Structure 1
Amino acid sequence: MRLPDLAPEDLDPEQRALYDAIVGGPRGTGTQHFPLTTRGGALTGPFGVMVHGPALGRPLQELGSALRYATGLSDRLREIAILTVAGATRSEFERYAHERVGRAAGLSDDELAALADGSFTSLSHAEQTAYDFCRRLLDGRPRLGNEEYADLVAVLGTTTITELTVLVGYYRTLSDLMAVYDVGAPEEQQPGQ
């Protein structure tokens, strides 16, 4: 482990304010699909990295919260996009966490496997277009020709295009942070432990 877990009692005031914003915000107060904290109270996944540098961690978590809870993306479409990034970047934690959220949003096990291996297809034209656009961004091809752009706008609209572009960049940043600090999927907590 490259960064130590920081339990609430280990945090300085700035770190504690960030910790409280994460566990007291929609991530911590809504339905929990995966543990936000360890048994000892330390934050898991990217949040455990963010708390080490709260000057950047606070705006990062605020952007992530906006992407999860304040966009016009449907839960299903948002999870397709997040899991597209997780599969492309091989982010163990994001795949672990968002497969659970994705199931709750209606993604099947076959769809989750296809998102992980990059072979996702959907009968929904909007879902397929969003997936293809996310893959294009992840492949380093964000520049669109005029006709491609017009087709994308006709299916998704400019607001969704913006939301997906920011989402891909945000989750790629989280994946990079967790790769640098070797943060993988947590061990499953058994009930009563």
Structure 2
Amino acid sequence: MHSPRLAPELLEMADAILQRNSLPDRLRELAIVRVGRVYQAPYEVHHHENIGRLVGLGQTAIGAAATGSAEGLSDEEASVLRCTDRLLARHTLSDAERAEALEFLTVGQLSDLVITVGFYQLVSNFLNTFGVTTEGETSPY
């Protein structure tokens, strides 16, 4: 990483989001893959689709993360997908959107979703800026 003073803390935050997140793993990965898709961050998408599969994220949900369509998702997955898109587009949830999310998530889980989406926006910006690629590809940096 090109930032030796900040990188250790950034990696520590990534670990916290992956290891101590109160969201069910598959919902966390659904949100992360959606951020990667919206930001067109292939490294992020590649790795988190694989992690998602390992934690039970189905192909329908992975497809939904690519398209933004909630068709075929559980109500809980659809709510997380909608919240993720609204956070990406408007950087907040309306009172009604927050109330909808709280039908499926606890306040703590919704807080962790907001943190996860924001963190992976930062990660995707970094990956895209420095042309980070998947394994076997060459980065220009």
Q: TM (normalized to structure 2)?
A: 0.86
1:36-47 correspondence to structure 2 within 5 Å: none
* Aligned residue number for residue 79 of structure 2: 129
Match of 2:122 among 166, 173, 177: 173
* Aligned residue number for residue 72 of structure 1: 22
Indicate the SS of the match to 2:63: helix
C-alpha contact 2:83 2:97 (8 A) present in aligned 1: no
CA, structure 1 residues 120+90, in 2 after alignment: closer, same or farther (shift >3 Å)? Answer: farther
Q: Which amino acid aligns with 1:164?
A: L
Identity percentage over the alignment?
Answer: 31
Larger Rg: 1
* Aligned residue number for residue 156 of structure 1: 105
Post-superposition offset of 1:119: 2.2
CA distance in 1, matches of 2:122, 2:26: 21
Unaligned runs of 5+ residues in structure 1 are 1-48, 189-193
C-alpha contact 1:84 1:118 (8 A) present in aligned 2: yes
CA distance in 2, matches of 1:81, 1:134: 6
1:2-21 correspondence to structure 2 within 5 Å: none
Post-superposition offset of 1:184: 2.0
CA, structure 1 residues 115+151, in 2 after alignment: closer, same or farther (shift >3 Å)? Answer: closer
CA, structure 1 residues 116+150, in 2 after alignment: closer, same or farther (shift >3 Å)? Answer: closer
C-alpha contact 1:87 1:118 (8 A) present in aligned 2: no
- The root-mean-square deviation of aligned C-alpha atoms, in Å, is 1.8
Q: Which amino acid aligns with 1:132?
A: R
* Aligned residue number for residue 133 of structure 2: 184
When the two structures are aligned, how many residues end up with a matched partner?
137
Does 1:89 find its partner at 2:42?
no
CA distance in 2, matches of 1:100, 1:120: 20
* Aligned residue number for residue 63 of structure 1: 13
CA distance in 2, matches of 1:77, 1:143: 18
Higher mean C-alpha displacement, 57-66 vs 104-113: 104-113
Does 1:106 find its partner at 2:56?
yes
